[in-house]
Amino acid sequence: MSTHAMLSTMTARPAAGLRARIKAITTLLGRFPLAIHQFLFRLAIAGVFLRAGLIKMTSWQSTIALFRDEYKVPVLPPEIAAVLGASFEIGCSVLLVLGLASRLATLPLMGMILTIQLFVYPDAWPEHLVWGSILAFLLTRGPGSLSLDHLIGLETGAPEAAQRLR
């Protein structure tokens, strides 16, 4: 065997071993339960919006002033926008924590993010992208098996259907 052939064989073996180790690690990581991700995503996004809704409720006059003077949401009067905003933030957050009507609960929050991004804080797109991505994941993949939706049968078969699409 030539020196070149021996060197090629010696360097190929460590590379193949490294690839095998990486494959084993990624396979192991791929076994992490998706339901835990879904549960943590629900808690994370609910925490953001629930906190915002509760802050709005603590000082209603300040909230109205905020909607009138800073947010300036188009089309809606500040009083109506404030009621809708606080209601959706609190109501949808509670639904997400429980995992009840989860897919439906994502829609008003996504609408709020879009409105805030377009009309209020356009420079906050990195944060809005994170929130929107979490909500899009929950909308398309559902709340997972650690949810009331799953318990009452609203999410039955969703994971199997998603697997068939892959």
44-53: pLDDT as tens digits: 999 999 999 9
Q: Per-domain residue ranges for the chain?
A: 1-32, 34-165
CA distance 93 to 59: 20
CA distance 103 to 149: 9
Contact assessment for residue 99 and residue 128, using Cβ atoms and an 8 Å cutoff = no
Environment class of 165 (CB within 10 Å of its CB; exposed 0-12, middle 13-18, buried 19+): exposed
pLDDT at 144 over 90: yes
* 51 to 22, 25, 106, 156: CA distances (angstroms): 40, 37, 16, 31
* Full-model pTM: 0.81
The model's pLDDT over 10-69, given as tens digits with 9 standing for 90+, comes to 555 667 889 999 999 999 999 999 999 999 999 999 999 999 999 999 999 999 999 999
The dihedral through the CA atoms of 38, 44, 49, 50 has a sign that is: positive
Contact assessment for residue 106 and residue 138, using Cβ atoms and an 8 Å cutoff = yes
DSSP string, 3-71: HHHHHHHHHHHHHHHHHHHHHHHHHHHHTS-HHHHHHHHHHHHHHHHHHHHHHHHH-HHHHHHHIIIII
Contact residues for 51 (Cβ-Cβ < 8 A; gap 6+): none
The model's pLDDT over 70-111, given as tens digits with 9 standing for 90+, comes to 999 889 999 999 999 999 999 999 999 999 999 999 999 999
pLDDT at 7 over 60: no
